[in-house]
Structure 1
């Protein structure tokens, strides 16, 4: 009876049509599995998207690593040439970093001002993806010009062509009056990240003039082959450059966010996994009802020579089919949900008139997603394995049916 258990198991997938209760339980079990698997695939894909955006977008705008010197770096060209000898470093550029207050008319907001070299900055960041290169080059004008994050511009209610005032305090001498400068807004930068609400870019010369050490830069920004090597690379450069130099890297500035994303991914994945497990084990109740309904059939099969293992195989096939259908549909819906997550959230925001992910609260203003084949395979195989395990008890129960006792009531 080598092929008969498979044939009968497949036929039993329609066994509940004559019994409304069995049919209902079968539908509920399959739907539960579909919902659980689809949510797990979608959630994992969205968390993967956040992880990717942090690495590629946010870390493409802020330094992956940076070298500083107490009192500012005077000869940044020398430092840049020296760090570029390290094969782990792919690019380097000077910058001036200042914190201050921006004002336009009666509107004020805190600002993170970066002074950049417009040519070298293109090598170390993804700035050209968010701003016209010609606008970036225009910062090198003799007149003070500035690029604002879209969120910051919205706070100030300022448009391109207007002038804003920047106040930069002297952190070394708090009694000294803050430096004041008016800048013409020549462009807006929109990365759809938290940086949009506070970032401003100007030329290296203009920013340096506002710093505590005019004519010097705050540090040299580094781009690395492997971002996870940042702590080791920075430490190595500090040793080579000598006393007075110190460093920082993204694991200190954004490490908590990165670990929070991974922790959230694991916790949410665990919760969704439990939902899948519960849905898979709902198969038990469905198969037990099928066993009760098919006691007569089981008894007849036994009298015709079917062994206990054949009966077990029949119900294992039935459980596996339910698991396969639920898993396949769940993966399909999960992938569809992951692909359309951003558009779906945007549609809901338009319908409800609210913004779910605000840039001043969350690192991104949209739902990114990245579908990994490894996640789909893992989720699919796990769901099917759980469904198979859930079928073991009903299958064993079916194999214990005594033909004489079952046929007595037929």
Structure 2
């Protein structure tokens, strides 16, 4: 246990009086070390919060369009999808099911051509499994009628094609009669019934919805290709998918949303870990300031150390004095940085919005980052990890200067005093 006098002297040295220029410079170095550790900790908390918010927002918008779980019949089309839906809904985690078909192709309007994935749906069933079908999105998709050849475009896709509700677009897709020697596209004219927007650029710019009957006619089939399932907790999709695979009667292929987007989420996690490592170096560099400050303090306090040794202080007590001084400096920086980082992380969307408004710039390009606003999600587990690493680095930075202080020779230090 550290004796009280060691703490008192360590705190006093941290404050380093202003009786001389050297003491003033040591005090300045102490402030620099505190500020350096604080800024490093704050930067680390803010960046991790942005990464968390990015993963949360993009993931939520992605899941709102994609299926929690998709079920396919290994034999091909799912002709009796109602029976399969009933079997799936026996699982208590499954809340709803909806059939779907997908038609890849190119949408044309005058001299503009854009690739798109058309999803054939039954609007009344799709509303049960798709989170984005609310408000204007639901109103647009409810307009789809069988045989009317209507299409609902993503907002960015409609903007790129320069069309609005009531206009017409042409779908071009591979023909069933195409061959290597005769590649003839199949075309169909659609009337734009409306647009939808989920806030995810990939879907808003490359996806459209048509009625299931129209999709089946385009594909020359008489049944949907699979089922989309909604479950109570999207995070449990892998476990529920495995349970369905074991319980469904028949030969079915079951795929959950984590399999479809595993590469993207793995990349985000990898980036988050790399950012943590890189930004930890900022705290490490700031810890070198603590080393420099303690080395200067030890040099300045050689006479004090000699007097303490003469009065009977043990080398371990001398070491503890300077460890207290350095560790308290680091802890003050960690506390200040944590407070600053948490406050910024909580208010980052508003801060970013204010900067965008003030400078007239867009911080995030939705063509690149899928979203157009700066997200933030503060996780206390991240804060705990950052604080732990910063405190550990601050502690390690005190060891060598404190040990060096114990090597002071009292007779040599007091010779010219």
Contact 1:298 1:401 survives alignment (8 Å): yes
Within 1, Cα distance between the matches of 2:3 and 2:363? 57
Q: How many residues matched?
A: 408
**In the alignment, structure 1 residue 22 sits paired with structure 2 residue 22:** no
* Equivalent of residue 296 in structure 1, options 303, 317, 321: 303
- Mapping of 1:8-407 within 5 angstroms? 8-15=9-16, 17=18, 18=20, 19=22, 20-69=24-73, 70-129=75-134, 131-140=136-145, 143-170=148-175, 173=178, 177-213=185-221, 215-225=222-232, 227=234, 230=237, 233-234=240-241, 237-238=244-245, 240-243=248-251, 245-346=252-353, 355=362, 357-407=364-414
Q: CA deviation at 1:241?
A: 4.1
Q: CA deviation at 1:323?
A: 0.8
SS at match of 1:115: strand
| Alignment CA distance shift 1:130-1:367 (3 Å) | farther
**Cα deviation 1:371-406 (Å, max 9, x = unaligned):** 111111121122112212211222222233233322
Structure 1: runs of 5+ lacking an equivalent: none
| Alignment CA distance shift 1:384-1:115 (3 Å) | same
Contact 1:147 1:189 survives alignment (8 Å): no
TM-score (norm 2): 0.86
**Cα deviation 1:170-227 (Å, max 9, x = unaligned):** 46855564140312232331424421111212332333332331x4212101223554
Within 2, Cα distance between the matches of 1:168 and 1:360? 25
Q: CA deviation at 1:277?
A: 2.3
Within 2, Cα distance between the matches of 1:192 and 1:130? 17
| Alignment CA distance shift 1:103-1:350 (3 Å) | farther
Within 1, Cα distance between the matches of 2:177 and 2:395? 68
Within 2, Cα distance between the matches of 1:102 and 1:349? 34
Q: CA deviation at 1:2?
A: 3.0
Contact 1:299 1:403 survives alignment (8 Å): yes
SS at match of 1:138: coil
CA RMSD in angstroms comes to 2.9
Structure 2: runs of 5+ lacking an equivalent: none
